[in-house]
A and B are shown apart, each in its own frame.
Chain A
Amino acid sequence: MSEQVPRPVVDVRALYVRFGEVDAVSGVDLAAHAGHSTALLGRNGAGKSTTMRVIAGVVPPTAGSVVVAGHDVRREPLGVKRAVGYCPDVGGLVPRATPWEHLQLSARLRRMPHGWEEQARTLLERFELGDVAHRVTAGFSHGMGRRLSVLLAAFHEPAVLLLDEPFDGVDPIGVEATLEVVNDARARGACVLVSTHLRELAVEACSSVLVLRGGARVATVTARDMAGEEGARAYRGLLD
């Protein structure tokens, strides 16, 4: 009796994204499974953030197929958005709304059942944002903003967790809380994608690594292959 291969939760095939004259992504294939975390590594402009935005249902693909939790991003963008929790690479916060108001909006639009407040408070404490829950985010430091973005992505326990540059400018406590969120999501069977240019943290957070260069995939390797000095050399080799 042959063992059945599980279907990927995120299935990206021959993805092309074009903005005017610029090819932001040119032919990315990606398959990410439930209970696993995958890192997207690459230099600035490699197409990591655009790929994440397509998977989040924010940017429509120019060509190729993208299926997230069984929903085609082109045909069922709302289904995709319900399944996904997304931390954008830049900002990602409404400047004159408080963290609590962000959570309220998310809970309302995602039709979360009553009692979400307890989960929200726990997360705010874990990310050390409890004291500023009712202050507008315009006055936040960069690191505080990043932490809140990760929190908002994970808050509703999505089937697909997309974290774009979650460690950028975040202090060690924030990094620890983010790694905890990734581990929790993986443990409950969510599919996690982490886009970053920080190889060491990508290796720590994820089990497999996909390296992008010039808008295309150049390799998919295990996190172990990217670890340590050996991994750093291999990574540099893939970027050149």
Chain B
Amino acid sequence: MPIAASSTSVPRRRPGGRTQLEHLLRNEWCAIVDVGHLLRFRATTISRRRRAVGLLAFAAVTVLAAAVPAYVPGAGTSERSVDVLVLLPSAFAAFQLLVLASAVASGGGRELVPREQLVAYPVSPTTDHLGALLLAPLNIAWLIQSWALLGATAYGVGPDRYLPAVLGSALWILAATAVGQVVAWSIEGVRRLPHGIATVRLAGVAVLAGAGLLQVTGRLGPLLDRVPTRWFVVGLVEGTTWRWAGTLLVMMVMLLAAVVVGAVPAHYAARLQPRDELRSESGRQRPLPEARTILGAMIRTDRSSVWRAVPMRRGLLVLAIGPGLVSLAGDLPWSQLTILPGLVASGGALLFGVNAWCLDTRGVLWRESLPVGPGAVFAARAWVLTEFLLVASGITLALACLRAGVPTAAELVALLCVWLVVLAQVVTASLRWAQRSPYAADLRSARATPAPPVAMVIYSTKLAVATTLTSLVFSGLARAPHWSLSVLVALPFLAWSAVRLLQARDGWVDPVERVRIVTTVAG
């Protein structure tokens, strides 16, 4: 029987009389408070009006996506709505995979305030983790999938029970995002270890190969029927029962646990060097022979600025391969493939296109002193952006086409037309925004974004709405009796984009306007 307290039973005290636990809790509380400080600091970079418009648009689309499908004829009663309910567990699982891939690609999630602006301040990795969680929705794929999940839930259960079900779906979206963040921080920690990059890449290839094997052997469907998310969906669709409350409670616990636990790998990763970025900055580049033309030289410089950036390379892989594989697994018909180019191109533009002049950062001043017309500079940047989006959407379509069978002429032409139209729309919109609202952004880190968070939400929403509506038009045209209809409809779209692109070019060519952009992105 002990007669005195052992050294382990006495709480260890730090200078100042606090126990280690008290110290930890106090630090974590400060980290949470700092999220508010950083949010307020970030908010100052965007006008109050733009912030309000963006948030209102986001809220309005979310409410509409969650409510309108419940009142569509056949919602909750038709055979189609039953099909939607049956597919809902797979959709829940797919959303989890999507947020995970997005967080992994961005090295643990986006930065609330860029790293180089915070080096002088004692900002905890917990703050970084919570900030990244808050920024997770600023991603076009997250937005569209969330709205689709809410809409599918509402349509599946119908008007009588849609509110509790949609509430549950919303909670799943949040919990899945937080869980994805935990995994992403853990993978980022591994990536920063010796041989970590190779390990993560090998693991990625193994997962893809495993999924491919399941698909080829016909075992993917039965596996999807048994996904654990089925338990959550069953709990949500019966209305406000005890089972529903229990499901909500479990998801709430999942959410809170993931938010808290995520700080642990975030702290671990923060103690290690980001190897991917360091490798691309310290590695030797193979010298190429001199470009043959002036435009070629400009394009080559811009191209290296894009393809050597870690966030661009990782983002492109996720954007291109993710939707492609989902379409492949889902066996999408040609008429539905029209949605893919817009989705991927919009996501690609959000990697750098919406602030395309930031690629040179402070080098833009030197480039401006070179004897070349501003029109050539604009042409090179527009070309490189188009090329980037073309490659990304091309990979997606190539994957998606594999199981779609032989298309009719109308389906093929509709797909090619929508590809061209949305590329033109996205490039034009990006270059117009890059001219209207330039930002000083350094895209060195895998976690960097080209514009502040609220601006990213506004850009995401605008791109999503424009490209989705356009895609729906061409999805209808894919079923039209003659292929020429798609061409006829595409022409005015392309003409309008050309006019807008020339307007953006005129803005850049104007010396006063250009100096505003140049001095802003130079910081």
A60/B511 in contact, CB under 8 A: yes
With contacts A93-B366, A152-B366 taken as known, whether A60 is within 8 angstroms of B512 at the C-beta atoms is yes
Nearest CB of B to A44, in Å: 16
**Beta-carbon contact of A60 and B287 below 8 Å:** no
Do A96 and B309 have beta carbons less than 8 Å apart? yes
Contact A105:B512 (CB < 8 A) given known A86-B366, A90-B522, A91-B361: no
Are A88 and B366 also in contact (CB < 8 A) when A94-B360, A136-B281 are? yes
Complex: A32 Cα to B280 Cα, angstroms: 43
Q: A157 contacts the other chain (Cβ, under 8 Å)?
A: no
Q: Of all chain A residues, which has the CB nearest B373?
A: A78
User: CB distance B363 to A95 under 8 Å?
Assistant: yes
- Say yes or no: is A98 at the interface (Cβ < 8 Å to chain B): yes
Decide: A57 and B291 in contact? CB cutoff 8 A.
Answer: no
B77 in the interface (beta carbon within 8 A): no
Q: How far is the CA of A134 from the CA of B282 in the complex (A)?
A: 10
In the complex, what residue of chain B is closest to A60 when comparing beta carbons?
B511
* B438 CB, min distance to chain A CBs, angstroms: 14
Could you mark each residue 285-300 of chain B with 1 if its beta carbon is under 8 Å from any beta carbon of chain A, else 0?
A: 1110011001001101
Known: A58-B515, A94-B363, A136-B280. A110 touches B368 (CB 8 A): no
- A88-B362 contact, Cβ under 8 Å, with A105-B301, A134-B285, A136-B280: yes
Q: A88-B369, A95-B444, A100-B287 are in contact. Are A109 and B297 (CB under 8 A)?
A: yes
Contact with A along B355-387 (1 / 0, CB 8 A): 000011111011111111100000000000000
- Give, as a whole number of angstroms, the nearest-CB distance from A111 to chain B: 9
Residues on B with C-beta less than 8 A from A197 are none
| Alpha-carbon distance between A102 and B365 when the two chains are bound, in angstroms | 13
CB of A143 to closest CB in B, whole Å: 15
**Interface residue? A175 (CB, 8 A):** no
Is A59 an interface residue when CB atoms closer than 8 A count as contact? yes
Cα of A91 to Cα of B364 in the assembled complex, Å: 9
Verify B442–A95 contact, CB threshold 8 A. Answer: yes
Residues of B within 8 A of A138 (CB): 281, 444
What B residues does A96 contact at CB under 8 A? 304-305, 308-309, 359
Nearest residue in B to A86 (C-beta to C-beta)? B369
A84 within 8 Å of B by Cβ? yes
Judge whether A106 is part of the interface by a CB distance below 8 angstroms.
yes
Residues of A within 8 A of B284 (CB): 134-135
Q: Is the CB of B301 within 8 A of A97?
A: yes
**B283 within 8 A of partner (CB):** yes
Chain B positions within 8 Å of A19 at CB level:
519
Which B residues fall within an 8 A CB radius of A?
Answer: 278, 280-287, 290-291, 294, 297-298, 300-301, 304-305, 308-309, 359-363, 365-373, 442, 444, 511-512, 515, 518-519, 522-523
Chain A residues within 8 Å of B, Cβ to Cβ: 19, 53, 56-60, 77-78, 81-82, 84, 86-88, 90-98, 100-102, 104-110, 134-139, 149, 152
Name the 10 nearest CB pairs between A and B, nearest first: A91-B362, A139-B281, A94-B363, A88-B365, A81-B371, A86-B369, A108-B297, A96-B308, A92-B366, A82-B371
A-B contact pairs, 18 of them (CB 8 A): A56-B369, A88-B366, A90-B365, A90-B523, A92-B366, A94-B301, A94-B305, A94-B361, A95-B362, A96-B304, A96-B309, A101-B301, A104-B291, A108-B290, A109-B370, A135-B285, A136-B280, A136-B308
> Apart from A96-B305, A101-B285, A101-B300, what are 14 other A-B pairs with CB-CB below 8 Å?
A58-B368, A59-B515, A78-B372, A81-B370, A88-B366, A93-B362, A95-B305, A95-B442, A100-B287, A104-B291, A106-B370, A108-B294, A109-B294, A134-B286
